[in-house]
Structure 1
């Protein structure tokens, strides 16, 4: 482990000091199981798998009435179910023998969810959101409701904060990421240029910005594929050195050479259809001694590596952002970029059930000038 990794880990552990982390991996596993059983129940209830036979994911997506841009997510669900022994998969990629959860099993899993969320430090909002999303899977797949309605019920941020900030894993990862940025800022010989990918509700941003207080920063480019999150962040953080842009990691990562000092990717790579290709692109924008800091939902702290699955699609996007993506792959840990140490959260190989939607991505922000416009930077 590098010296920077040691510092990051120490900062993360300090942020959760006093918490009992011995049951983190088991708790994530229980939440995983609940999500998978809920998905299996919907597939068993609404698709031809309940009648036996072997079927292609596309056929099952049609059974569910999935919107075109969400159809790929059904294949992802089936892969996850197969990995856990809840569905069979033939050599040709078709699925069969879907497990049909019993009512008593679902009740037990729901009961176990409460102890799991307590072990992970999640507030009650997390349990409410998880159960609501499982109950709304058909509507989410059909694009009749967006995930932002789950993250911000009644316009309140409680559920979003529960998922991305108010829990042991997020506190550990955000504190560690802040330590990486602090180390970089202390060594920087010029105003910093920072790109955050898939910034979402700004949970990580909120812990990074205090580190930059009083330091020279040329820009901090806050990006997401949803205008909703950009507008929310603009109201929350303001402008100053912050810039905002619509970006989609699955399609148009920056291609033009630039000079970024740091690329931040917090709990977002699961929305890339092929993270291997995605993770190879940011370095092309980091020509100086910059780094890539990628964090992910983690059983960490350190332990075995269960997969963390969330059952609902991303929010509905405007029509101009339509498109589909391929199935995501397990998220790798962060690697160092451009000769600088990077930091990686330890543990869970996160896999989301959220589909990503295609939208436009600005070019490498080597000349960001507008503090607020959502536009392409050239």
Structure 2
């Protein structure tokens, strides 16, 4: 498909940087022959290292299905969402956004910071944007279950996610559900905390969405943003086929994701008192940005 040509160009760039291919005047030359046996051996070694440590079996199973379907993904014969949500099931999505080592750390960090805020404030309203399968929600809701002074707004553009959440969180009385589009963020009121996990990178106009988020955040409120900060090989065989905004790619110099410094430049605003970043360093390709409203 023509719209996947940019993904192919990024793959060529990555493969060239790793020394698997060599760029020449008329194209590229393969420098390494990968047989099926070689791939299966390497994949087994990877699973042994990753399973139960960096992620669980389902996350690796999802990646393998994407790898085996790459030709069909590039041609458009297979819809990438059908791999992520087979038969409408959320198992793979939860394995990726909830059960991996990095998301366990980041979602736990959000819950810790929100608990500090809850303990110091009388009444709090929390809005989660693009809540999806509830990977972050699962960490935060137990903190507010018995608190009558807290309202949690679970929002997403998809009715499927909202319907599933209503069933999943039926025991919680202080949660409300709403359809919200981050590209047209009109809440009509202010909230004390906003959570946006993997939302901004997919917004059509990040500056617009961020401005609206700041606009609906109360004074001394907080905004929690989780974003990918490095080009990810795992993403390049999977979710990248769901992220095809060519204008956004141009802004990012043909990359799928901005790095930490590029995000910080985008996030800085006169209405923000300070920004915290977690983890502060280490070779991890996700970051949590906490924006403190003045």
Q: Same fold (TM over 0.5)?
A: yes
Determine if contact 2:226/2:286 at 8 Å carries over to the other structure.
Answer: no
- C-alpha separation in 2, matches of 1:96 and 1:280: 43
SS in 2 for 1:181: helix
| Runs of at least 5 residues in structure 1 that lack an aligned partner in the other structure | 1-64, 299-304, 352-378
| Equivalent residue, structure 1, for 2:216 | 285
Determine if contact 1:221/1:242 at 8 Å carries over to the other structure.
Answer: yes
- C-alpha separation in 2, matches of 1:266 and 1:246: 14
Give TM-score scaled by structure 2 length.
0.70
Determine if contact 1:145/1:315 at 8 Å carries over to the other structure.
Answer: no
**1:133: Cα distance to partner?**
0.8
1:314-361 Cα offsets, whole Å, 9 max, x none, are 7889xxxx976522332537879744765534442349xxxxxxxxxx
Match of 1:195 among 119, 122, 127: 127
| Equivalent residue, structure 2, for 1:349 | 285
Match of 1:326 among 229, 248, 252: 248
- C-alpha separation in 2, matches of 1:227 and 1:71: 31
- 1:265 counterpart = 2:196: yes
| Equivalent residue, structure 2, for 1:147 | 80
After superposition, the Cα gap between the structure-2 partners of 1:242 and 1:121, relative to the gap in structure 1 and judged at 3 Å, is same
Match of 1:309 among 234, 251, 260: 234
1:120-151 Cα offsets, whole Å, 9 max, x none, are 34222122111101122233344443334323
| Equivalent residue, structure 2, for 1:169 | 102
- C-alpha separation in 1, matches of 2:74 and 2:66: 11
- C-alpha separation in 1, matches of 2:68 and 2:276: 39
**1:275: Cα distance to partner?**
5.6
- 1:180 counterpart = 2:113: yes
1:176-228 Cα offsets, whole Å, 9 max, x none, are 111111112222243x23222332211111111111122222442422x4443
Match of 1:241 among 170, 175, 195: 175
- C-alpha separation in 1, matches of 2:137 and 2:65: 27
After superposition, the Cα gap between the structure-2 partners of 1:256 and 1:88, relative to the gap in structure 1 and judged at 3 Å, is farther
- C-alpha separation in 2, matches of 1:350 and 1:273: 21
- C-alpha separation in 2, matches of 1:228 and 1:95: 47
- C-alpha separation in 1, matches of 2:14 and 2:212: 27
**1:296: Cα distance to partner?**
4.7
Give TM-score scaled by structure 1 length.
0.57
| Equivalent residue, structure 2, for 1:134 | 67
Determine if contact 2:144/2:150 at 8 Å carries over to the other structure.
Answer: yes
After superposition, the Cα gap between the structure-2 partners of 1:262 and 1:113, relative to the gap in structure 1 and judged at 3 Å, is same
- 1:206 counterpart = 2:138: yes
Q: Which has the higher contact order (CA 8 A, sep 6+)?
A: 1
After superposition, the Cα gap between the structure-2 partners of 1:109 and 1:268, relative to the gap in structure 1 and judged at 3 Å, is farther
1:71-102 Cα offsets, whole Å, 9 max, x none, are 54444444544554556789xxx994264652
- C-alpha separation in 2, matches of 1:242 and 1:95: 58
SS in 2 for 1:97: strand
Determine if contact 1:258/1:285 at 8 Å carries over to the other structure.
Answer: yes
Residue correspondences, number = 267
